């Protein structure tokens, strides 16, 4: 039952503790604050929660949450602790407000570059052409020395083997890369502690040599009976250009993996720098086929007691590639399974069946694996793994010949947490926080030495209920070498009974939890009405140093001055050549110059738009009715749009941002003559 203030005797004491001895100046004192809380039906605890999360008008949140938007294909930026939505960054899905995917050159390049293997594909571009959605799962902020550096963000597309790259200088997506040989993705994305690479591995294994643009011939019989031979997974290390943040396939490499279903992955750091860890399930290699007399996949994939943690020495893989011991497959350098085994860069360790999350502790020394069907977290010791590898302490090999380390040799501890553990994050006092999907709770537990003396290691110390069905969770800097504690966000799949009814499709539910004390405390709910979030990262807001305005004439495509930028309306002009009308257009409050553009039917119209303002927030839009042309022109930005004038008539293009008192007048005409 909910307590109200009226039922609680020492309510004045509680509120006084929460708000300090004096009321705020100029307004209601302590007594009227209590009345206010009472009038809203708030308990003292509720009032304290409100004060802990409230950010006054004009104030700033201390943290920013970068949350995946799931199958909305976006990334959502949320202020913490206020849980206010600051921005949705379009990544895999067109979004008109940001002018993403509606004619702007930088966005078309990001979304539409042809996939590898398609005509005209550059090595590092391409999304497979006309895809207009993605399933964004796991964001990875760039890191320096194992800490978030606020420069870039990468996110995978679960539905496809794609990675989106967002430049945090302007919060815009600059590149969507189709990773060769992957049809789907899940393992990662993570950045190595120096962001030399971002890692992604396949989710469901794909046909060996899979290429979306060519396709592959296969039969039902092949699928059911030759699965272990014809399918493969891949662990992919995508090289990051250290100046631009862009991904470069030519400098990247993959390691071929067995067709177990590789699941989540995490990066070694500190003592385990140079290693990567990938979970898997379906070591049974079940194929589905209920009507073919096979068990449903969830049954077929749960026959064995153990699946496999994949342990990859990527620094060794780097050397193997440098020595030329790779084959090229669909435009990327691939270390085959045979080579990976021969070079000793790939090992397996048994993990309790059907694991999900693998999360490395801040010093890189512990590897926490949580298995949906096992109430424990299993903690592997990296020192034990190294020793078992050095001693060749194997319990055998898998059917492909990959050595399997002895379970007892590599496990440092186990801790019983509750039903359905999934993902783990860390704090600054040696604690781990694990989401419990089935139990709808977060478990807090202690790590071993050196975080806690051996006597206190791997013990459950607290639990808090959430609402409901938690997937991922995020603590402040909780997957880096320097977690900050303080807050935890529970990302819940179900929100039944928590919010106003908006129809059968319910929002998901984020819950803010205070982890600064010994007991976790639920502070606030935030309905998420824009796609199912998966992972998120919670970063100190002042880590991010975005432009307030672009320097004059900068193109979002290159982040350098565009050769087509103009300085003022004196430079505005129209140049015609056969079949083409090319316009250099100046954009300021409150007119376009030129404001009349004429073309002949069939002409290609190319407009180089420069917003020549340097006032923060003086954004203009450029929209053309009946065309998929909608460009956001932020102050200083220079962007090019091109389209075909295919129907005669006049078209009143206009500014879509209410930029000034004369915004409504900010329009012009495109006259298309027969
Ligand atoms: S995982 S279903 Cu992030 Cu728990 Cu994708
Ligand atoms: Cu510019 Cu409205």
**What does 56-116 look like in DSSP terms, one character per residue?**
-TT---SEEEEEE-BTT-EEEEEEETTTEEEEEEESSS-BTTTTBSSSBHHHHHHHHPPPT
Beta strand extents in 171-270 (DSSP E only): 172-178, 187-191, 197-201, 206-207, 231-240, 247-257, 261-267
Q: Which of 209, 196, 233, 204 is nearest to 314 (CA)?
A: 196
What is the CA(171)–ligand 1 centre distance, in A? Answer: 24
Burial class (CB in 10 A: 0-12, 13-18, 19+), 492: buried
What is the CA(662)–ligand 2 centre distance, in A? Answer: 8
Determine if ligand 2 sits within 6 Å of the CB of residue 149.
no
Q: Which of 74, 82, 201, 196 is nearest to 139 (CA)?
A: 74
Q: Which of 333, 323, 143, 152 is nearest to 236 (CA)?
A: 333
Residue 537 pLDDT > 80: yes
What is the helix (H) or strand (E) element at residue 310, kind and residue range?
strand 306-313
Length reported for the chain? 674
Ligand nearest to the CA of 609: 2
Which atom of ligand 1 sits closest to the CA of residue 68?
Answer: 3
Structure tokens at 434: 């694990």
What is the CA(349)–ligand 1 centre distance, in A? Answer: 21
Q: How confident is the model at residue 354, as a pLDDT?
A: 86
Strands 327-329 and 332-335: antiparallel
Q: How confident is the model at residue 450, as a pLDDT?
A: 96
What is the CA(534)–ligand 1 centre distance, in A? Answer: 6
| Bigger pLDDT: 212 vs 671 | 671
- Percentage of residues of the chain with pLDDT beyond 70: 93
Residues 28, 39: contact at Cβ < 8 Å? Answer: no
Token pair 């290429």: residue: 211
Residue 27 pLDDT > 70: no
CA dist 294 and 307 (Å) reads 20
Which atom of ligand 1 sits closest to the CA of residue 423?
Answer: 4
Q: Work out the average pLDDT over 316-344.
A: 98
What is the helix (H) or strand (E) element at residue 490, kind and residue range?
strand 485-492
What is the CA(503)–ligand 1 centre distance, in A? Answer: 25
- Percentage of residues of the chain with pLDDT beyond 90: 88
Q: Return the SS3 of 555.
A: strand
Q: Return the SS3 of 663.
A: helix
Q: How confident is the model at residue 113, as a pLDDT?
A: 64
**Per-position DSSP letters for 24-39, written without gaps between them:** PTTS--HHHHHHHHHH
What is the CA(657)–ligand 2 centre distance, in A? Answer: 5
Q: Whose Cα sits closest to atom 1 in ligand 2? A: 620
Strands 376-381 and 366-370: antiparallel
Q: Whose Cα sits closest to atom 1 in ligand 1? A: 534
Q: How confident is the model at residue 13, as a pLDDT?
A: 52
Which atom of ligand 1 sits closest to the CA of residue 356?
Answer: 4
Q: How confident is the model at residue 373, as a pLDDT?
A: 83
**Cβ < 6 Å from ligand 1: which residues?**
137-138, 158, 186, 356, 422-423, 471-472, 534-535
Determine if ligand 2 sits within 6 Å of the CB of residue 659.
yes
Residues 92, 162: contact at Cβ < 8 Å? Answer: yes
What is the CA(578)–ligand 2 centre distance, in A? Answer: 32
Token pair 């060769």: residue: 180
Ligand nearest to the CA of 137: 1
Which atom of ligand 1 sits closest to the CA of residue 422?
Answer: 4
Q: Work out the average pLDDT over 277-306.
A: 95
Q: How confident is the model at residue 381, as a pLDDT?
A: 98
User: Tens digits of per-residue pLDDT, 601-646?
Assistant: 999 999 999 999 999 999 999 999 999 999 999 999 999 999 999 9
Determine if ligand 2 sits within 6 Å of the CB of residue 609.
no
Q: Whose Cα sits closest to atom 2 in ligand 1? A: 534
Token pair 């257009």: residue: 585
Which atom of ligand 2 sits closest to the CA of residue 589?
Answer: 1
| Region of residue 7 (phi > 0: left; psi between -120 and 50: alpha; otherwise: beta) | alpha
Structure tokens at 115: 């996939």
Predicted confidence band of residue 112 (pLDDT cuts 50, 70, 90) = confident
Residues 165, 245: contact at Cβ < 8 Å? Answer: yes
Residues 641, 617: contact at Cβ < 8 Å? Answer: no
Token pair 């067995």: residue: 258
Residue 3 pLDDT > 50: no
CA dist 147 and 176 (Å) reads 24
Ligand nearest to the CA of 357: 1
| Bigger pLDDT: 565 vs 24 | 565
Residue 25 pLDDT > 60: no
Residue 7 pLDDT > 60: no
Q: Which of 143, 65, 137, 41 is nearest to 475 (CA)?
A: 65
Which atom of ligand 2 sits closest to the CA of residue 655?
Answer: 2
Predicted confidence band of residue 131 (pLDDT cuts 50, 70, 90) = confident
Q: How far is CA 414 from CA 219, 229, 267, 444, 458, in A?
A: 44, 35, 21, 14, 7
Half-sphere exposure for 324 (CA within 13 Å, toward CB): 0
Q: Which residues contact 500 (CB under 8 A, 6 or more apart)?
A: none
Predicted confidence band of residue 507 (pLDDT cuts 50, 70, 90) = very high
Structure tokens at 116: 């590898």
What is the CA(137)–ligand 1 centre distance, in A? Answer: 7
User: Tens digits of per-residue pLDDT, 368-399?
Assistant: 999 888 899 999 999 999 999 999 999 999 99
Ligand nearest to the CA of 185: 1
Q: Work out the average pLDDT over 197-220.
A: 93
User: Tens digits of per-residue pLDDT, 437-459?
Assistant: 999 999 999 999 999 999 999 99
Instruction: List b or e across 583-601, with b for residues whose CB sees 16 or more CB atoms inside 10 angstroms.
Output: bbbbbbbbbbbbeebbbee
Ligand nearest to the CA of 158: 1
Q: How confident is the model at residue 22, as a pLDDT?
A: 43
Q: Which residues contact 465 (CB under 8 A, 6 or more apart)?
A: 440, 441, 522
Burial class (CB in 10 A: 0-12, 13-18, 19+), 317: buried
What is the CA(438)–ligand 1 centre distance, in A? Answer: 15
Residue 522 pLDDT > 50: yes
Q: Which residues contact 572 (CB under 8 A, 6 or more apart)?
A: 566, 584, 585, 586, 593, 594
Q: What's the alpha-carbon Rg for the chain, to the nearest Å?
A: 27
* DSSP summary character for residue 179: -
| Bigger pLDDT: 118 vs 107 | 107
| Edge-to-edge strands, sheet with 521-528 | 84-90, 74-80, 63-68, 536-540, 470-476, 485-492, 508-514, 521-528
Strands 366-370 and 358-360: antiparallel
């Amino acid at each position: 039952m909910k307590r109200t203030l009226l039922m609680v005797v020492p309510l004045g004491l509680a509120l006084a503790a929460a708000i300090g001895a004096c009321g705020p100046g100029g307004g209601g004192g302590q007594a009227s604050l209590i009345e206010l809380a009472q009038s809203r039906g708030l308990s003292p605890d509720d009032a304290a929660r409100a004060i802990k999360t409230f950010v006054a008008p004009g104030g700033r949140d201390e943290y920013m949450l970068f949350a995946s938007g799931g199958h909305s294909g976006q990334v959502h930026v949320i202020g913490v602790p206020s849980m206010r939505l600051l921005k949705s960054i379009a990544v895999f899905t067109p979004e008109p407000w940001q002018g993403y995917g509606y004619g702007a050159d930088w966005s078309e390049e990001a979304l539409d570059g042809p996939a590898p293997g398609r005509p005209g594909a550059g090595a590092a571009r391409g999304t497979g052409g006309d895809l207009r959605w993605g399933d964004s799962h796991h964001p990875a902020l760039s890191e320096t020395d194992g800490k978030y550096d606020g420069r870039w963000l990468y996110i995978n597309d679960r539905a496809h083997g794609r990675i989106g790259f967002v430049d945090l200088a302007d919060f815009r997506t600059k590149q969507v890369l189709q990773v060769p040989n992957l049809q789907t993705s899940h393992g990662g994305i993570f950045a190595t502690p120096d962001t030399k690479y971002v890692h992604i591995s396949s989710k469901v294994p794909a046909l060996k040599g899979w290429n979306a643009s060519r396709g592959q011939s296969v039969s039902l019989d092949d699928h059911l009976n030759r699965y272990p031979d014809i399918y493969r997974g891949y662990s992919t290390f995508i090289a990051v250009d250290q100046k631009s943040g862009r991904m470069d396939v030519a400098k990247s490499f993959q390691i071929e993996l067995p067709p177990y279903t590789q699941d989540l992955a995490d990066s070694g750091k500190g003592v385990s720098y140079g290693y990567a860890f990938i979970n898997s399930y379906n070591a049974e290699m079940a194929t589905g086929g209920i009507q073919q007399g096979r068990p449903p996949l969830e049954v077929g994939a749960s026959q064995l007691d153990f699946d496999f943690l994949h342990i990859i020495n990527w620094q060794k893989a780097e050397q193997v590639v440098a020595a030329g011991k790779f084959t090229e497959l669909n435009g990327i350098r691939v270390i085959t399974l045979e080579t990976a085994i021969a070079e000793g860069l790939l090992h397996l360790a048994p993990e309790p069946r059907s694991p999900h999350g693998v999360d490395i502790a801040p010093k890189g020394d512990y590897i926490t694996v949580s298995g949906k069907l096992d109430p424990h977290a299993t903690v592997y010791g990296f020192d034990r793994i190294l020793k078992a590898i050095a001693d060749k302490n194997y319990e055998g090999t898998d059917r492909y010949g990959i050595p399997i380390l002895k379970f007892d040799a590599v496990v440092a501890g186990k801790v019983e947490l509750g039903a359905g553990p999934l993902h783990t994050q860390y704090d600054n006092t040696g604690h781990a926080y694990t989401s419990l999907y089935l139990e709808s709770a977060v478990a807090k537990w202690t790590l071993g030495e050196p975080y806690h003396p051996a006597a206190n290691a791997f013990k459950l110390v607290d639990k808090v209920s959430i609402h409901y069905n938690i997937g991922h969770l995020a603590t402040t800097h909780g997957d880096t070498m320097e977690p900050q504690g303080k807050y935890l966000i529970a990302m819940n799949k179900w929100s039944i009974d928590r919010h106003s009814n908006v129809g059968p499709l319910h929002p998901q539910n984020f819950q803010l939890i205070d982890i600064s004390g010994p007991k976790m405390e639920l502070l606030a709910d935030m309905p998420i009405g824009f796609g199912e979030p998966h992972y998120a990262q919670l970063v100190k807001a002042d880590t991010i140093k975005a432009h307030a305005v672009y320097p004059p004439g900068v193109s979002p495509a290159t982040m350098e001055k565009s050769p087509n930028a103009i300085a003022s309306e004196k430079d505005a002009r129209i140049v015609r050549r056969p079949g083409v009308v090319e316009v250099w257009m100046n954009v300021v409050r409150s007119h376009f110059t030129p404001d009349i553009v004429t073309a002949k039917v069939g002409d290609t119209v190319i407009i180089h738009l420069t917003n020549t303002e340097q006032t923060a927030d003086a954004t203009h839009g450029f929209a053309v009715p009946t065309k998929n042309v909608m460009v956001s022109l932020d102050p200083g930005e220079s962007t090019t749009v091109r389209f075909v004038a295919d129907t005669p008539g006049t078209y009143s293009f206009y500014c879509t941002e209410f930029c000034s008192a004369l915004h409504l007048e900010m329009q012009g005409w495109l006259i298309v003559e027969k």
